[in-house]
Structure 1
């Protein structure tokens, strides 16, 4: 087949550096007789393209604008100072799974630091995070990029319990029943039942809806919309983004302030708090789960599966900044499966897995300094040595 427009959405996102080169070779063959439109963050793919389109400046309503290459490159400037987190203690765990044959390998876990798991796709990194470590530690949490659990109407605010804090704040400030500030309680529009839409028919078995003309899509009774705190009603506050709500200076509660800051620090402050969770990307799902885990502070060990997937350099640095803060201040341990070389550059310890035949073995594990002294491993060829750290 030829003369096709082929759209590829981040084809290198979950690939090891060597696999990226292989994928670029495939794309080179595909574009000989076709046109490829590729969404990517990988520098190698960007350099190989015949023409690049840059979008900015941020996510959400502040993004999606065409910007120049110079503007894009300026947005990527600035990096996080590298820090080596010396482990507070270390233990080893035998890797045993029905899914992957690890040939009796033992994984060293450096507590109070950041361990980067790396290796070709399919070598069993996710199995370690999802299946093995939960059995080894009671205070361990695995955070994946799978969709958040919730119903069709679940929003960022309801999932993170921010809406409950907001409703409590409004009820106390106005001396009203908390139920009035719920679209499924006393404050719900009596025509649409709080949904904000009215079913008007169907087309090919798909239901058709129109905006409710009584509440104008807010889902609230008119009298409820007239009740305001700091000049903002319950509907308008839900139309704010996380960063806008922080900037407003509204004193909701200590719990709400902590969650809002975590979400903003994780780089998703552009999300509207009323945004449906079913519309979120995998990376946004994972960061909300991570914020929830850090807010509860129940877990001292956290496993992250490709947290840099789909992120640009600026967003990756921001995420790393929060991880550094959690290790430094709260002595958290992070075990992270990742392909992104920028992210791996900021890890303190590494475990490189390699598949040999039907089994997987750990071919290297140790500190960053040891990694660059060992010439047998593969990952050192893809990372940038820190001269000051490796003297």
Structure 2
């Protein structure tokens, strides 16, 4: 393996300093020493789990943020999250680090693309100055302030209503069990109070109630009633449900009640503001006949054109700033979004690009920007734009650190650090540090795959029938009709915003026999881990119980064997109210999650905590047969050999979550699989393994539909469906269907141009 270059070789000739990392041991890093040139673009490569994130995010960015926090007074620090020092001997010449990651932009229903980018704030000021009639300050146009929000929906744009028919069966009486709400079964205590209330006949069918009886049954405010010889409080059914359950945070409800609430509560567009969130006064004020809500609903590329048409020296600088911001969003490939789009609906890649645009306008220099796969969700056509922005940040005098797998991004790097050689225990070393030409010649896994190209599939499989989609008009789809061939590998392509997800998730995902493996978060993921989520823990617990002659429940950190101090989490979480909570290792079990008694029981020389600390690859060898071996084999098949069995699911990336879901679904008898960008987070060498896995699924008689931008996956497809020609209202049409060879030979779509270049045709 080529040795890492020495620090002397890394100092640029013009005297630029370097960030010095000495003895980094965070997670799987093996005493890493590395020098990174400042004010340069450095790309970190290596297979998933090789240690890239541990070095970039867990060491460099984490220490920078910790040191900045230490500059505050002790009083202020007492209100801030306590950041532990990374496991590293020395870090020198750090600058302030700004992490631009793929974390979703919060689930706050009041946050939109407009509020997250400050575009809406600028728009509000412009309308407060130029809108006619003039209605007041910019606050009058804010749906987050009392003076601007619609009084009916309080600025949310939606009102919630309860579907009464999800609560009761009108064909039955109370004595026949008409109430279907959890906890209201016949003879239950709440049911008894309602029956004894005297407001209606318990033998009368609910459908025959008078208006007054129906009102008392559903809406009556709290009153005292006599049940037997005691007085109790009676409330109408709806009144009680709203008071007991609907004012609480949804996640705080018990699972069966949460499921009921999700079923019974219906959100509809606010009838007063029409979903615009604003007062009638705000909606009445217009510029050139257009109000602020109509501006917010425009596609960003169209809004930029509208703002360009406004010419008023009173707000000239503000118009210029807003125009520049909107044009930057369009330039980065987000022109199809609108300012009123809820921030929570953005994908991880979209969220990262929105954050990136915010930093482009910053006057700060000499900052370290840290990016996590910024090309996720981008068509090859858009990657060039992303590269231009990364270089722009660098040229402003900043240090740019990028974790990335795409050869197109690696190609523009001033410096490359390749970690590996493998994942997990087999990784954590610097395999190469130098320029791109040096990486190509290095012989490392990344170096060997840099010029690797998948070839067009020579013999495509024959369709075994079709799934038809007709008249698709969700979001920007324009009455699309298309046939998805059965029994083959179909890849759906097109630039961001062209309608791929709307077509497949909107019209295929809910059909019988269709399994969707996507990158969405997994609920309850702080306590869950790969062992619990895949069902792997069951055979492991059984094996421990059998070997030691004790109950299997002892070997679950969610059951009897859990450490009583941390309830089996291994961590103590401290809630800091308005700020991010802090996690610290439980002192009682030292993070092992189990009681001392449970840890005395062993299986082949290992206790349960040691087994859960194993990687999938280690555990696969440790359990040479049986159900555990089978499940671990599936996890290895989807490229997750490096994951630890007890690793909390909330630490997994979107790509890892998707592959974990795929491993579970592989055990089911399914006929159609939908995968959404399964190459996310995959090294070029692992993409070949993914293609082999997709082939195996198809060869076993399944239909596989993949939404994907990676040219290797396109080239490997039996059938391509290309949407476009652009994004937003410039998309929503099927611009090509056929084999990859046909696309390369005869089509002129953006996808065709890039695939032609990729395969060298």
Q: TM-score range by the shorter chain?
A: 0.7 to 0.9
Tell me the equivalent position of 2:299.
Answer: none
Tell me the equivalent position of 1:100.
Answer: 476
| CA deviation after TM superposition for structure 1 residue 384, in Å | 5.6
Deviation digits for residues 4-35 of structure 1, max 9, x if unmatched?
Answer: 33333222221111111222233333332233
| CA deviation after TM superposition for structure 1 residue 75, in Å | 6.0
How has the CA–CA distance of structure 1 residues 19 and 358 changed in structure 2, closer, same or farther, with 3 Å as cutoff? Answer: closer
Q: Is 1:3 matched with 2:398?
A: no
Tell me the equivalent position of 1:320.
Answer: 691
Q: Is 1:264 matched with 2:264?
A: no
Q: Cα RMSD between the aligned structures?
A: 2.9
Deviation digits for residues 159-198 of structure 1, max 9, x if unmatched?
Answer: 1111122112222333321122222333334555434456
| CA deviation after TM superposition for structure 1 residue 210, in Å | 4.8
| CA deviation after TM superposition for structure 1 residue 85, in Å | 2.5
Deviation digits for residues 267-317 of structure 1, max 9, x if unmatched?
Answer: 1110000000000000000000111111122x2111111111221111211
Give distance in 1, aligned partners of 2:616 and 2:578: 38
DSSP 3-state at the match of 1:229: coil
How has the CA–CA distance of structure 1 residues 267 and 121 changed in structure 2, closer, same or farther, with 3 Å as cutoff? Answer: same
Which TM-score applies when normalising by structure 1? Answer: 0.87
Structure-to-structure mapping, 1:1-391, within 5 angstroms = 1=363, 3-5=365-367, 6-35=369-398, 36-68=400-432, 69=439, 70=442, 71-73=444-446, 76=449, 82=457, 84-102=460-478, 104-135=479-510, 137-190=511-564, 192-196=566-570, 206=581, 209-213=584-588, 215-251=589-625, 253-254=626-627, 256-297=628-669, 299-328=670-699, 330-355=700-725, 357=729, 360-383=732-755
Say if 1:57 and 1:75, in contact at 8 Å, map to a contact too: no
| CA deviation after TM superposition for structure 1 residue 355, in Å | 4.1
How has the CA–CA distance of structure 1 residues 180 and 363 changed in structure 2, closer, same or farther, with 3 Å as cutoff? Answer: same
Which TM-score applies when normalising by structure 2? Answer: 0.47
| CA deviation after TM superposition for structure 1 residue 219, in Å | 2.9
Relative contact order (alpha carbons < 8 A, sep ≥ 6): 1 or 2 greater? 1
Instruction: Point out the more displaced range, 318-327 or 280-289.
Output: 318-327
Say if 2:736 and 2:747, in contact at 8 Å, map to a contact too: no
Give distance in 2, aligned partners of 1:30 and 1:197: 38
Give distance in 2, aligned partners of 1:200 and 1:106: 53
Give distance in 2, aligned partners of 1:200 and 1:88: 56
DSSP 3-state at the match of 1:222: coil
| CA deviation after TM superposition for structure 1 residue 358, in Å | 5.2
Instruction: Point out the more displaced range, 281-290 or 140-149.
Output: 140-149
DSSP 3-state at the match of 2:667: helix
Bigger CA radius of gyration: 2
How has the CA–CA distance of structure 1 residues 248 and 171 changed in structure 2, closer, same or farther, with 3 Å as cutoff? Answer: same
Say if 1:108 and 1:365, in contact at 8 Å, map to a contact too: no
How has the CA–CA distance of structure 1 residues 359 and 18 changed in structure 2, closer, same or farther, with 3 Å as cutoff? Answer: closer
Give distance in 2, aligned partners of 1:200 and 1:384: 54
Give distance in 1, aligned partners of 2:578 and 2:733: 54
Give distance in 1, aligned partners of 2:453 and 2:635: 20
Say if 2:377 and 2:709, in contact at 8 Å, map to a contact too: yes
